[in-house]
Amino acid sequence: MKRKVTKAIFPVAGLGTRFLPATKSIPKEIMTLVDRPLIQYAIDEARAAGIKEFIFVTSRGKGALEDYFDNAPVLEQELRKKGKTDLLRTLKDTNMESGAIAYIRQHKALGLGHAVWCARRLIANEPFAVIMTDDVIASEKPCLMQMIEAHEETGGCMVAAMEVPKDKASAYGVLDIKEDKGAIVSVKGMVEKPDEGTAPSNLAVIGRYILTPKILQNLSKLKSGAGGEIQLTDAIALELEEGRDVFGYRFSGQRFDCGSKAGFLQATVAFGLGRPELGEELRAYLHNMLSLSEAAE
């Protein structure tokens, strides 16, 4: 019988330099879209997909993440005293069952592949998911759930995939397509951050992965790849070289690149518009602002 995917790795060791000075003292993953930190979106998606064990690969200065998922007895007591049951309910989403969450340190910034490899002992011999908190995906059915359902049929390794403009492909891992079956794409090669004009397609890897434990062995064999880092893409490509299956999955939903300022702002607006208590006011404000700027042109 196939093992269910119940473990997920969240690589959260990055310095978040693109968001300095904010990230001087707060982890990038605590930055909020409306009122929920990026990490909360990732955790909600993982929970909805049936993940039970959450493994954070952290680094120095990420202590706020541990506090975020801890109970906050003083705050909770205060809210209870004031009868603020709705806020208490909101806080509940941030609590993790004891033992469900683990923090592992990546001691050197050697790349995404190395970060995943740091969690090898906790993964042991099970398939696992990787969720990148920078990629926030708004969708009716959570992206990882879509992928887990598809993966139950395909097996092998699976990466979320999305078409990107040709001139942007060199910012991603890019798939070399063997057979395009619509949502599921069977893959014959993968390149991390291809030089401009050399990408095998414009189907890019987005930060959701379902991987077999073999990937961890592959990672321990790898030398540094693109950007001088140990790349997860290269460990997955090794599976193809050894004749095992890798699939891309064209998820349905809208992906926001919250690793960039423009993407982060777009996500803030989109999630704000989607909130019943904020949407109307924000829409009117944006409308007004845009017509004023059009009139000024």
**Are 255 and 137 spatial neighbours (Cβ–Cβ below 8 Å)?**
yes
Q: What angle do CA 80, 83, 85 make, to 5 degrees?
A: 80
116 binds ligand G1P (CB under 6 A): no
**What's the CA gap between 275 and 289, in Å, rounded?**
20
Identity of the residue, 53 or 229, whose beta carbon is nearer to ligand G1P in the bound complex: 229
Residue 129 engages ligand G1P in binding (rule: CB under 6 A): no
Closer Cβ to ligand G1P, 79 or 135, answer by number: 135
Chain mean position to CA 200: 24
36-75 footprint of ligand G1P as x/- string (CB under 6 A): ----------------------------------------
194 counts as binding ligand G1P under rule CB under 6 A:
no
Q: One-letter amino acid identity for 14?
A: G
Q: Residues binding ligand G1P: what is the number (CB under 6 A)?
A: 14
207 binds ligand G1P (CB under 6 A): yes
In the complex, least distance from residue 113 CB atom to ligand G1P, rounded to whole angstroms = 8
> CA-to-CA distance for 12 and 29, rounded, in angstroms?
7
- Amino acid letter, 83: G
Tokens of 124: 């042991």
Rule CB under 6 A: say whether 158 interacts with ligand G1P: no
The residue within the footprint of ligand G1P, chosen from 45, 53, 192, 234 (CB under 6 A), is 192
Query: Per-residue string for binding with ligand G1P, 220-239, x by CB under 6 A?
Result: -----------xxx------
| DSSP-derived 3-state class of residue 13 | coil
Location of structure tokens 């060199």: 170
Question: Is the CB of residue 270 less than 8 Å from the CB of residue 138?
Answer: yes
Least distance from ligand G1P to the Cβ atom of residue 118, Å: 15
Q: Could you say whether residue 172 binds ligand G1P (CB under 6 A)?
A: yes
CB atoms within 10 A of CB 98: 7
Per CB under 6 A, residues contacting ligand G1P are 112, 132, 135, 172-173, 192, 204-207, 231-233, 259
